[in-house]
């Protein structure tokens, strides 16, 4: 059982207990303590949270809510505050970002992820490799920047990191943003501190962000404090949040240092970077979902593939395989089905093997549709048995696979008709004006209300 599941189980005890007395609250607090300690949250912070919940649980009751609702919301809000509820918002238009961190924490990968994040938001930027210590750093970052489509500078023959940055700044003098990936060490030593200071004298970065792996747990606070005292860190990125049970411990540790956590690295792909929000993070790991994040991902995917996902065709009732194909491309841009299910609060209800099987099906569907003619994509009714056989041969799939695609397409077509009625969407402008988002946000608010009762 994961960190988030244990927290949800603790709150479920409060939701479903018949006698909500001090003993029931103490028992739920013990469950919360176990969950936090298993997530490598510092014991001192766990005890502080426990005392806060127990001391306030039976205090003055606000109007309009029951005691049960009040106690559950108190627990939820206290957990969010422990993880960093009051963190600063991500800078929208930074000019200079210097990434810091020890070996193996993910600085180079996150330099490229940040480049993608800010490129999507319209900033013209350049990335500099100032890591002259690790031989593979130059080539790794260069390849990642090529994937992002942003400009890159490095000089593998030069060993002076500050000089590389100076050369890069000259090349990128007209850029709105410059991101610099610095070298790491196995520990923060005098040599590394001196190198960072030399780079900063040239770069004069307003943003000095520390990259810390989620597997650091409560040790993250020691690392954050050490870097801050040495060079003045003012932002944190926590990497590998998708593969570590200690992520909650890292967040709590960083929050204790008062350093704002700006981003979470949630996967290995360039797009796997999310702005951190404690409430949304907690909601997702506890299985309640994060529809706002899903909406943001969907919008980014739509912008990237272009168009409005054939909105006019759908609204006219002309939901074709071509439309389905465009939606499929957008869905694959958002991320794996497991991540989408997590954002919708459905990961606990869907078995892992089913999600993995679904991934394979989506890939199969795309291959099958790549073997269809324009006429077949625009007019699926023409798909006779002979055409299905030809498509199966051309795509290397079975006729059963092709027929499964057609069944899924018909279900999606019917689902959209029903959703259109529910949301009163009349024309494509409704989608562009965010009417669809408002419908989804109403649904998210209902889930939030249900969650705290």
Give the pLDDT confidence of 319-345 residue by residue, as tens digits. 677 777 776 666 556 555 455 555 555
pLDDT score recorded for residue 431 = 43
SS (H, E, C) the chain: CCHHHHHHHHHHHHHHCCCCCHHHHHHHHHHHHHHHHHCCCCHHHHHHHHHHHHHHCCCCCCCCCCHHHHHHHHHHHHHHHHHCCCCCCCCCCCCEEEEECCCCCCHHHHHHHHHHHHHHCCCCEEEEEECCCCCCHHHHHHHHHHHHCCEEECCCCCCCHHHHHHHHHHHCCCCCEEEEEECCCCCCCHHHHHHHHHHHHHHCCCEEEEEEEHHHHHHHHHHHHHHHHHHCCCEEEEECCCCCCCHHHHHHHHHHCCCCEEEEECCCCCCCEEECCHHHHHHHHCCCCCHHHHHHHHHHHHHHHCCCCCHHHHHCCCCCHHHHHHHHHHHHHHCCHHHHHHHCCCCCCCCHHHHHHHHHHHHHHHHHHHCCCHHHHHCHHHCCHHHHHHHHHHHCCCHHHHHHHHHHHHHHHHHHHHHHHHHCCCCHHHHHCCHHHHHHHHHHHHHHHHHCC
Q: Which phi and psi angles does 105 have, rounded to 5°?
A: -90, -15
- Mean pLDDT, residues 277-291 taken together: 70
Q: What is the pLDDT of residue 327?
A: 65
Give the model confidence (pLDDT) of 152-210 as tens digits. 999 999 999 999 999 999 999 999 999 999 999 988 899 999 999 999 999 999 999 99
The C-alpha torsion from 201 through 204 and 207 to 211, rounded to 10°, is -30
Closest CA to 227 of 181, 275, 192: 192
Span 76-109, pLDDT tens digits: 889 888 888 655 688 999 999 999 999 989 999 9
Q: What is the pLDDT of residue 195?
A: 95
Number of Cβ atoms within 10 Å of the Cβ of 134? 15
- Comparing 190-199, 212-221, 238-247, which segment has the lowest mean pLDDT? 238-247
pLDDT tens, position by position, 174-184 = 999 999 999 99
What pLDDT was estimated at residue 93? 94
Mean local confidence (pLDDT), 429-438: 46
Q: Is pLDDT above 70 for 272?
A: yes
First to last CA, the chain: 23
pLDDT reading at 143 higher than 80? yes
23 against 446, higher pLDDT: 23
The answer, yes or no, to whether residue 20 has pLDDT greater than 70, is: yes
pLDDT of residue 145: 97
pLDDT of 226 higher than 70:
yes
Query: Higher-confidence residue: 28 or 442?
Result: 28
Q: What contacts 30, CB < 8 A, 6 or more positions away?
A: none
Mean of all residue pLDDT scores within the chain: 80
Examine the pLDDT at 305 and tell me if it is beyond 50: no
Residue 21: what are its φ and ψ, rounded to 5°?
-120, -175
Please report the pLDDT score of residue 277 as a whole number: 83
User: Quick one: pLDDT at residue 363?
Assistant: 79
pLDDT at 308: 46
Question: What torsion, rounded to 10 degrees, do the Cα atoms 285, 234, 232, 106 define?
Answer: 50
Alpha carbon dihedral 330, 334, 340, 344, in 10-degree steps, equals -80
Tell me, what's the pLDDT at 290?
Answer: 47
Which pLDDT score is estimated for 428?
Answer: 43
Q: What percent of the chain has pLDDT over 70?
A: 74
| Pairwise CA distance, residues 42 & 82, whole Å | 11
Q: Are the C-beta atoms of 348 and 289 separated by less than 8 Å?
A: no
Q: Which residues pair with 179 in a beta bridge?
A: 97, 127
Instruction: Identify the band that residue 307 occupies on the pLDDT scale cut at 50, 70 and 90.
Output: very low
Q: CA 361, 367, 371 angle in degrees (round to 5)? A: 140
pLDDT at 418: 57
User: Does the predicted model carry a pTM greater than 0.75?
Assistant: no
Task: Give dist(CA 413, CA 422) in Å, integer.
Answer: 15
Residue 338: CA count within 13 A, CB half-sphere: 13
Residue 300 has pLDDT above 60, yes or no: no
Say if CB 236 and CB 261 are below 8 A apart. Answer: yes
Q: Tell me which residue of 16, 59, 54 sits closest to 33, measured CA to CA.
A: 54
CA atoms within 13 A on the CB side of 379: 4
Selection from 66, 100, 73 nearest residue 235 by Cα: 100
Query: Is a pLDDT exceeding 50 seen at residue 240?
Result: yes
Domains in the chain, CATH or no CATH each: 3-83 (1.20.120.140), 96-285 (3.40.50.300), 291-451 (1.10.260.30)
Burial class of 221 by CB neighbour count within 10 A (0 to 12, 13 to 18, 19+): buried
Phi/psi of residue 108, each to 5°?
-65, -45
pLDDT of residue 446: 44
- Mean pLDDT to the nearest integer, 254-268: 85
- At residue 100, φ and ψ (nearest 5 deg) are -125, 160
Structure tokens at 233: 């860190």
Confidence check: pLDDT of 451 > 80? no
């Amino acid at each position: 059982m994961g960190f988030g599941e244990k927290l949800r189980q603790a709150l479920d005890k409060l939701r479903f207990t018949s006698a909500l007395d001090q003993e029931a609250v103490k028992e739920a607090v013990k469950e919360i303590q176990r969950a936090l300690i298993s997530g490598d949250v510092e014991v001192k912070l766990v005890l502080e949270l426990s005392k806060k919940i127990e001391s306030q649980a039976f205090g003055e009751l606000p109007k309009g809510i029951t005691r049960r609702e009040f106690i559950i919301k108190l627990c939820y809000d206290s957990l969010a505050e422990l993880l960093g509820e009051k963190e600063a918002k991500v800078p929208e238009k930074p000019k200079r970002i210097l990434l810091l961190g020890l070996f193996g924490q993910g600085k180079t990968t996150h330099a490229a992820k940040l480049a993608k994040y800010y490129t999507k938001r319209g900033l013209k930027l350049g990335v500099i490799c100032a890591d002259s210590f690790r031989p593979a750093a130059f080539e790794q970052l260069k390849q990642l920047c090529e994937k992002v489509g942003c400009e890159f500078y490095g000089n593998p023959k030069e060993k002076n990191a500050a000089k590389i940055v100076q050369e890069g700044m000259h090349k990128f003098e007209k850029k709105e943003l410059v991101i610099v990936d610095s070298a790491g060490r196995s520990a923060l030593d005098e040599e590394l501190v001196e190198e960072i200071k030399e780079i900063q004298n040239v770069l004069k970065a307003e943003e000095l962000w520390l990259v810390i792996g989620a597997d650091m747990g409560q040790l993250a606070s020691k690392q954050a404090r050490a870097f801050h005292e040495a060079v003045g860190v003012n932002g944190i990125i926590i990497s590998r949040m998708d593969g570590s049970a200690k992520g909650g411990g890292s967040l709590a540790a960083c929050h204790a240092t008062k350093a704002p956590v700006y981003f979470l690295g949630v996967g290995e792909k360039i797009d796997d970077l999310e702005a951190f929000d404690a409430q949304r993070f907690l909601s997702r790991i506890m299985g309640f979902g994060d529809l706002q994040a899903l909406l943001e991902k969907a919008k980014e995917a739509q912008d990237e593939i272009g168009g409005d996902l054939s909105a006019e065709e759908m609204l006219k009732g002309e939901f074709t395989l071509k439309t389905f194909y465009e939606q499929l491309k957008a869905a694959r841009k958002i991320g794996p089905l497991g991540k989408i299910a997590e954002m919708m609060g459905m990961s606990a209800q869907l078995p892992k093997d089913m999600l993995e099987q679904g991934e394979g099906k989506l890939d199969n569907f795309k291959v099958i549709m790549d073997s269809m003619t324009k006429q077949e994509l625009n007019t699926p009714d023409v798909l006779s048995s002979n055409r299905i056989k030809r498509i199966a041969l051309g795509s290397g799939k079975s006729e059963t696979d092709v027929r499964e695609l057609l069944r899924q397409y018909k279900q999606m077509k019917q689902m959209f008709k029903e959703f259109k009625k529910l949301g009163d969407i009349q024309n494509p402008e409704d989608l562009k004006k965010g009417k669809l988002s408002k419908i989804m946000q109403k649904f998210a608010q209902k889930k939030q209300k249900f969650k705290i009762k």
